Amino acid sequence: MSDRQLIARLDDRLDRLVNIDIGERGVEPLFAAARDLQGGSLVGAAADALMAVPMSGTVVITTGSVSRAWITPELGENDGPSGAAAIARALVLERNAACIVLCEETLIPAIRAVMVAAGLFPVGLDQARIAQKDRSLATVVMMPYPTSDEDGRAAAPAMLDALAPDLLFSTERVGRNDRGVYHSMRGIDYGMGRARVDFLFDKAMARGIPVVAVGDGGNEIGMGKVAEHVRAHVPYGDNCQCGCGGGIGATTGCGVLVTAACSNWGCTAIAAAMAARGGNPRLVHTPDAEARLLDAMVAAGLINSTHGIVDDAVDGFPRASHLSVATLCQTIVSRAL
Ligand SMILES: [Zn+2]
């Protein structure tokens, strides 16, 4: 059996593991549709795309969801940041990439703390370039993105020109629907205080820059790729509760879509698949690392949005389930390491 065949089998196992619809949110039909369009493992295709980032290249990463912005825009949710941190870390270690994390200015303190817990020291872009040259430090760059439609749309081309990213990666980042409204999974208008990063992704897609996106609910950047399946299978997929006349499905698509029952699990699986490809165990998002990030997210005040409280039950799933997924992903790829 060739390494290639082994990797393909591991990819399929990772795909299936993270798409068991434990939360009963309708992710399994989205998984099936995305697999059909991809023609193979979603996790594997995402890992291939990330491993193809040129050495010392530039990657834009986005995550973050202001969870109760009508109360305070400083409150973010805990699905997304740890997964994004695991991916950024793998990209820095394996590709010496400069990772630029975009989110709401109000969420930078919390997400920055999660990046630090993943081993990445936040610096400015010029400093990240120095660290890339001499490989003396694993860094990350935090940048705010505008929260109004007008400014979000206007910022996109200039930011792509300035950063010249080799790839864009999104996880658990809500995108607008075809009426221009940002929705929660319960179908309410969720747009206030929210960074309009989806405009940047639309522009990147139009320019042919590779885009990888992870989502679990249908309302995230990337889900435009399976829009008709979101309409058919996800609660409020065809008709929201806000009165805009659309469903919650995000209109922004992507090149590679990774569905998962919890977006963080999708990222854990992708990091494992990258480790298998690189023959590099350091890229694995281990259960110890997951525990560290869960603790960091609680300390940073990120919220379990399902239960409306700051704790380590991401998407309402208990802490042990997240450690278990990390353990199983690590175990699956151990055959290749
Ligand atoms: Zn609506």
How many angstroms separate the alpha carbon of residue 110 from the centre of ligand 1?
A: 28
- Which of 25, 8, 6 lies closest to 259, judged by CA? 25
Long-range contacts of 297-300 (CB under 8 A, 24+ apart): 297/78, 297/81, 297/82, 297/110, 297/114, 298/78, 299/113, 300/109, 300/110, 300/111, 300/113, 300/114
Q: Which pLDDT belongs to residue 1?
A: 55
Residue 248 has pLDDT above 80, yes or no: yes
Average confidence (pLDDT) over 262-291? 98
Report the percentage of the chain scoring pLDDT > 70.
99
Q: Total domain count for the chain?
A: 1
Mean pLDDT of 57-71: 94
Structure-token pair, residue 300: 């940073």
Which pLDDT score is estimated for 231? Answer: 96
Ligand 1 mean position, distance from CA 70 (Å): 16
pLDDT cut 90: percent of the chain above it: 97
Each residue's pLDDT tens digit, 92-141:
999 999 999 999 999 999 999 999 999 999 999 999 999 999 999 999 99
Give the pLDDT of residue 25.
Answer: 86
> Which among 46, 139, 142 has a CA at the least distance from the CA of 93?
139
Average pLDDT score over residue span 150-166: 98
Distance from residue 259's CA to the centre of ligand 1 (Å): 22
- The secondary structure of 65-112 as a DSSP string is -BS-TTT-TT-BBSSSHHHHHHHHHHHHHHH--EEEEEE-GGGHHHHH
| Cα–ligand 1 centroid distance for 238 (angstroms) | 10
Ligand 1 midpoint to CA 234 (Å)? 14
| CA of residue 241 to ligand 1 center, whole Å | 6
**pLDDT digits 0-9 by tens, 9-56:** 999 999 999 999 999 888 999 999 999 999 999 999 999 999 999 999
61 C-alpha to ligand 1 centroid (Å)? 26
Q: What is the pLDDT of residues 172-184, one digit of tens each?
A: 999 999 999 999 9
**Cα separation, 294 vs 288, whole angstroms:** 10
Average pLDDT along the chain: 97
Q: Identify the domain containing residue 81 by its residue range.
A: 3-301+308-336
- The CATH number given to whatever domain includes residue 281 is 3.90.1640.20
Ligand 1 centroid distance, CA of 69 (Å): 17
User: What's the pLDDT tens digit per position in 173-232?
Assistant: 999 999 999 999 999 999 999 999 999 999 999 999 999 999 999 999 999 999 999 999
